[in-house]
Amino acid sequence: MLDKELRSMIGKVKDGRMDRRAFIKRMAAVGLTAPLANQILALGGVAMAEGAQTYKPTKRGGGGALKLLWWQGPTLLNPHFATGTKDQDGSRLFYEPLACWDPDGNMKLVLAAEIPSIQNGGLAADGKSVTWKLKPGVKWHDGKPFTADDVVFNWEYAKDPATSALTIATHRDITVEKVDDLTVRILFNKPTPFWADAFVGAPNTIIPKHLFADYKGSKSREAPTNLSPVGTGPYKFVEFKPGDLVRGQLNPDYHMPNRPYFDTVEMKGGGDAVSAARAVIQTGEYDFGWNIQVEDDVLLRLEKGGKGKTIYAVGGDTEFIALNFTDPNTEVDGERSSMKTKHPLFSDPAVRKALSMLVDRESVKKAIYGRAGRTTANFLNGPEKFVSKNTSWEFSVEKASKVLDDAGWKPGADGIREKDGKKLKLVYQTSINGPRQKTQAIIKQACQKAGIDVELKSVVASVFFSSDVANPDTYAHFYADLEMFQIPLSQPDPSQHMRRYMSTNVATKENKWQGTNFPRWVNKDYDAAILAAESEMDPVKRATYYIKANDLMFQDIVFIPVQHRLKVEAAANNLRPIISGWANETDNLHDWYREE
Amino acid sequence: MSQYVLRRLMIAIPSLLGISVVLFVVLALAPGDPFAELATNPNVPPEVQAALRAKFGLDDPIHLRYLHWLNAMLHGDWGFSFVSRMDVDTLILQRLPATLYVIGSAQILALLIAIPVGVYAATKPYSLFDQVANTLAFVGFSLPTFFTGILFILIFSVTLDWLPFVYTTDIKGTGIHWVLEMIRQAIMPVAVLGLFQAASMTRFVRSAMLDVIRLDYVTTARAKGLGQAKVIVKHVMRNAMIPVVTLIALQMPAVFGGAIVTEQIFRIPGIGSLLISSILSNDTPVVMAVTFVFACLVVLFNLIADVLYGWLDPRISLR
């Protein structure tokens, strides 16, 4: 669709000459989904529609117990210290953000009274501030009122380096000020198109000032409320055993009408994904199982005549193979994969091109991911409006062989191609994980047919994903030619995700491999697109920048996307959970109920 | 005798110190770090990871960290878990009841099976009973608990739907209902573990009995006209039990240490599963504490076994 046309349509909706529904319909006609249309409207200055309400119960409570099974149980209950989603999920039972994301990527109100928009004065037109109005009458579980002071305190708490909050990145570059008791303003130091980071979603829930004020900074670990949260949420804290159990009970003073439905909630941890699927789907001992990373044929078998089913949520997670742009086998100044080297094989674009043709995404989907995967050519797979339509992929051993033949890579006596004395031998590493090892095997086979020798390496996940400076097997050291994993996209905005691959973020010995650009790919156009996108307030232009960034990665074959992965959960047949690909599983828990 | 006990004690202290040094060094050199998950989180800037490492003393040299740990330990401070920011002793105490209950019951079940079966099999060697018992024992300790565990789940939970396979510390209800539920959920793990232990223990009891049953004093007792039951219980078993008691004493630490595999399968929140999850998340203080407690128990029960031996056979303590 033409930029101009879209813009005039947004204008029409703004002026009331076209209604929202008509706009969304027209967008759908050109292949864009409803949530995407909504986002375009919101960022184009039309107030965001609130997520559809599907909640049916007409009174608070009476739903009995809700039994959740998290195969990795929460180990702490302070959202600012949460390592990984399991801890965010656990603390989200009690703490709440100002707003959360529904399955379509729309914003839903929680502690805020209205969604900031340009119309209601919440969003500054220059993108440099956002004003949130808080819901009046909200009480902490101990009866104290929830006010703007609490929100401001969370910012002070998290941005203090001595607190060691893991949410520091969200808070350190903003300023939060109290306007009145029920209004806060967030100031950004540059135009910020994605203004809904701080205080939105499960990672950014709000803790009470009156219980944490004395435990700011270096005393942060000593707060007794770290282990027994007092929040504003639908459930009140009862009991916590790290890694094993979190228990809550209905909050009779909850600020949303008729909610929550369940009288008690229990989150049990431990075990593995397969048996969690079994306990929910097959035996029905539990109502909900989190993150069921199990091969699809196992799930299909469990679902036959079972008491539960699997449910899927579309987000933007991509399982990819990264190509190393530096040489992992040559040491320069005591550093392998040094920026001073070039990869001896991948510096020939033909090799990268051939490799991308040897990844049979359809087979990987069929054999492993099933309903939980979608084939893709893009690194950036969501939200929808940022997804490039300019790319495509194909699998063909013949074409790959031809590309290599044409580039002068001829099979040697052992069947492995070589050129100028260099053999096409690659080391392909990933973390230990059933589906990943199977994917490796599928790709290795195709490579063998094309005359590329691939050595498979698998590293235990706790090492592979660590930031251990001394360990050469981490993904950031990348002492291999290829590596496969996924980096979860935790927000319905790609800015944080795409920023990682700017040339300023290359992982090297100098920054102790803490840099996020592990393929060590350097592209000036990419850097420019990312920087431009970060302060671009025009939603259409901004999306174009990210699409361009994705396409640059596609052209250079920095990543070979294997699957666009969906979130998979197990739920009892009569449970009505609300799961969003853009939020944590418990982010919409206040809207869960059971169909009688 | 008291001198013997004292001597054994004096040996125990340096061995514990030695064990703690080895454990600490191995853990410090092990790959991975407790903030692994932060590395892939775009929200966490590298400076925060570095600050956390510094705050928790992970960047200090090993010997300093060890001395720091030892000093804290001597003052009764077990440190705190990096992962849950909770004191390690609280964490362990939370996990201990489930372990003691399930693993302890399994040990008792094992004894209840092993002793009568082993004794009876030994009194009638190569009889049909002995052969059946032997075969079952062989099958029993050849099948690993992760196999029997899943088999039990498939039979009793999935197919028959009799028993729950997720162990929960949080059973609703009180009184008799609570007790019954506690028993119901422990049946499978206790059976899996108990049968496995019973299998090897049966073999042990049987051979210990056979060693004694052929001795001259037993024949003498029989010649005096004592009944078979009396001979077996009073003369044979008492002596045969000496090595068996030692075996049981040495297995006691395992009761506290939990059974990692079984706890994992049935989601029992015990010490074993705490240890495995702490190892996976590189939560060094917890791993250190759990393994050290385990080492202490081994040393302690060795000591008790030694002392028991000295008491049963005074010649040992004189040497």
Residue among A573, A551, A93, A52 at smallest CA distance from A308: A573
pLDDT tens digits along A228-257: 999 999 999 999 998 889 999 999 999 999
Which residues, listed in sequence order, are joined to residue A572 by a DSSP beta bridge? Answer: A308
- Report the pLDDT value the prediction gives residue A35, as an integer from 0 to 100: 54
Query: Which alpha helices (DSSP H) does A454-568 contain, by range?
Result: 461-464, 495-499, 524-534, 539-556
Residue among A516, A510, A521, A427 at smallest CA distance from A476: A516
pLDDT tens digits along A324-378: 999 999 988 888 999 999 999 999 999 999 999 999 999 999 999 999 999 999 9
* Burial category of A221 from C-beta neighbours within 10 Å (exposed 0-12, middle 13-18, buried 19 and up): middle
Cross-chain Cβ contact A164/B269 below 8 Å: no
pLDDT tens digits along A84-134: 788 899 999 999 999 998 887 778 899 999 999 888 888 888 889 999 999
Cross-chain Cβ contact B282/A466 below 8 Å: yes
Average pLDDT over residues A388-414: 93
Nearest-Cα distance to chain A for B17, in Å, is 28
Cross-chain Cβ contact B153/A275 below 8 Å: yes
**Other CB atoms within 10 A of residue A518 CB:** 24
Average pLDDT over residues B265-269: 88
Cross-chain Cβ contact A166/B55 below 8 Å: no
A246 contacts A240 by C-beta, under 8 angstroms? yes
- Report the pLDDT value the prediction gives residue B38, as an integer from 0 to 100: 59
Which residues in chain B have their CB less than 8 angstroms from residue A475's CB?
A: 39-40
What percentage of chain B exceeds 90 in pLDDT?
Answer: 7
- Report the pLDDT value the prediction gives residue A50, as an integer from 0 to 100: 56
Which residues, listed in sequence order, are joined to residue A123 by a DSSP beta bridge? Answer: A130
**Other CB atoms within 10 A of residue A263 CB:** 15
Strand order in the sheet with A174-180: A129-133, A183-188, A174-180
State both tokens at B77: 């401070």
Which residues in chain B have their CB less than 8 angstroms from residue A512's CB?
A: 46
Q: Out of A231-235, B20-24, B279-283, pick the least confident.
A: B279-283
Quick check: A558 pLDDT over 90?
yes
Q: Cα(A342)–Cα(A351) distance, rounded to whole angstroms?
A: 14
- Residue B119's H or E segment, with its range, is helix B88-123
pLDDT band at B125 (very low <50, low <70, confident <90, very high): confident
More confident residue, A182 or B245: A182
What percentage of chain A exceeds 90 in pLDDT?
Answer: 59
Quick check: B69 pLDDT over 90?
no
Cross-chain Cβ contact B85/A161 below 8 Å: no
**Interface ipTM:** 0.80
Cross-chain Cβ contact B43/A167 below 8 Å: yes
Quick check: A438 pLDDT over 80?
yes
Which residues in chain A have their CB less than 8 angstroms from residue B83's CB?
A: 75-76, 83, 242
Average pLDDT over residues B172-201: 86
Instruction: Write b or e for each residue in A569-595: b if 16 or more Cβ atoms lie within 10 A of its Cβ, otherwise e.
Output: bbbbeebbbbbbbbbbbbbbbbbbbbe
Nearest-Cα distance to chain B for A41, in Å, is 27
Cross-chain Cβ contact B265/A271 below 8 Å: yes
pLDDT tens digits along A199-212: 999 889 999 999 99
Residue in B80, B85, B265 closest to A81 by CB: B85
Which residues in chain B have their CB less than 8 angstroms from residue A203's CB?
A: 43
Q: Cα(B34)–Cα(B37) distance, rounded to whole angstroms?
A: 8
Out of A353-367, B38-52, B263-277, the most confident range is A353-367
pTM score: 0.82
Quick check: B252 pLDDT over 80?
no
Average pLDDT over all residues of chain A: 88
Q: Which residue has the tokens 């928009």?
A: A117
Q: Cα(A218)–Cα(A225) distance, rounded to whole angstroms?
A: 16
Q: Cα(A550)–Cα(A547) distance, rounded to whole angstroms?
A: 5
- Residue A132's H or E segment, with its range, is strand A129-133
Q: Cα(A449)–Cα(B310) distance, rounded to whole angstroms?
A: 71
A354 contacts A403 by C-beta, under 8 angstroms? yes
